[in-house]
Amino acid sequence: MGRYILKRLLESVPVLAGISIITFLVIRLAPGDPAALLYDMSQLSPQQQEAIRRAMGLEDPLWVQYGSLMGSLLTGQLLSMRLHVPTLQLVADAAPVTLTLAALTLFVGIVLGLAFGVWSALRANTVTDDVLTVGTLLGLSLPQFWVGLMLVYFLAETLRWLPAAGIAPPGQAPGGPLEILPYLIMPTVALSSGIVAAMTRYVRSGMLETLGQDFVRTARAKGLSEQAVVLGHALRHSLITVVSLLGVLIPILLGGAVVVENVFALPGIGQLAVNAAMGRDYPVVMTVNLIAAGLVIVSNLAADVAYGVVDPRIRYS
């Protein structure tokens, strides 16, 4: 197992390098001048404009700019063009909000997905199954930003049950977890809607396949309770399909966080990435993108390792 994990981590190095090169080329070759977003070029002479661009490293060849950017990033000295603050510090400051939202979303998505999936499988081809099927199709189809906007309209603007945006009242510093929790309810619902739906469909499909197998019928014939048969045998055997879904949840969460955090004005990594992209802040965009890529690689590795935990017959080489 250890050799397998080490091999996968070593294989991820060229993958991250390729992602960094593609990201740099995309953001650097995009139209527009980053210096023009920071300074009023109309008030500066051509010599002053050139001096500013040279100071920002924009006049260097692309390969020199890439090498300088990556060297600074790897040493933790890469600074934001707009804020002149280390990019890793900006990500670290924004990470708690995103990590909290992601943890709540995973918890809600896994718990409700497993519950609805098992319930739907045990009541296959009934009204309950039909209702859950329609609900999952809506969850998979409705965009997260639309779900978020509808939640704001009904729960915040109309009923005034929950705060509409942010993580604290205007002009106040964020409080403790219990004080922040009401601000994260609607973002969690919006972000987890698709995950609950996908998890429900995966679990239902796996359970229907497992419930008809011989070992489940044998367990029932031995006199085991229905709860022991469903949870101890059928569900456990169906978790392989669930693990395969968990491997792609991190990309879904990261992509959804960009949308949801901007809908609800949450000061997380998603909003940081959007602001950096809009402001052509190359260092911040590069940092966020590489961290996201690293999380995706780690999540896929964790899913592969989890296969061996769920099914001991799987061997790694």
Residue 224 lies in a domain: yes
Q: Is residue 2 part of a domain?
A: no
User: Averaged over 179-189, what is the pLDDT?
Assistant: 91
What is the secondary structure of 150-191 as a DSSP string?
HHIIIIIIIS--S--SSSS-TTS----HHHHHHHHHHHHHHH
Report whether pLDDT(73) > 80: yes
Residue 20 lies in a domain: no
- What average pLDDT does the structure give for the chain? 84
49 falls within a domain: no
pLDDT at 314: 65
14 domain-assigned: no
CB 199, CB 113: distance < 8 Å? yes
DSSP lists the bridge partners of residue 86 as 79
CA-closest candidate to residue 155, choices 306, 264, 266, 54: 264
The pLDDT of residue 311 is: 64
Asked whether residue 41 is assigned to any structural domain, the reply reads no
Q: Which comes out higher in pLDDT, residue 43 or 138?
A: 138
- What is this structure's pTM? 0.86
Does residue 205 surpass a pLDDT of 90?
no
Number of folded domains that form the chain: 1
Higher pLDDT, 156 or 231: 156
Return the CATH number at 274.
1.10.3720.10
Q: State the Cα–Cα distance between residues 110 and 127, nearest whole angstrom.
A: 23
Residue 50 lies inside a defined structural domain of this protein? no
List pLDDT tens digits, range 235-258: 777 777 777 777 777 777 878 888
pLDDT of residue 92: 93
Q: Which of 283, 298, 301 is nearest to 20 (CA)?
A: 283
The predicted pLDDT at position 21 comes to: 92
Q: Is the pLDDT of residue 81 over 90?
A: no
pLDDT over 70 at 317, yes or no: no
Render pLDDT for 124-180 as a digit per residue (tens, 0 to 9). Answer: 889 999 999 999 999 989 999 899 999 999 999 998 899 888 888 877 777 777 788
Q: Higher pLDDT residue, 316 or 195?
A: 195
What is the domain extent for residue 283?
Answer: 88-310
Kindly state whether residue 22 falls inside one of the protein's structural domains. Answer: no
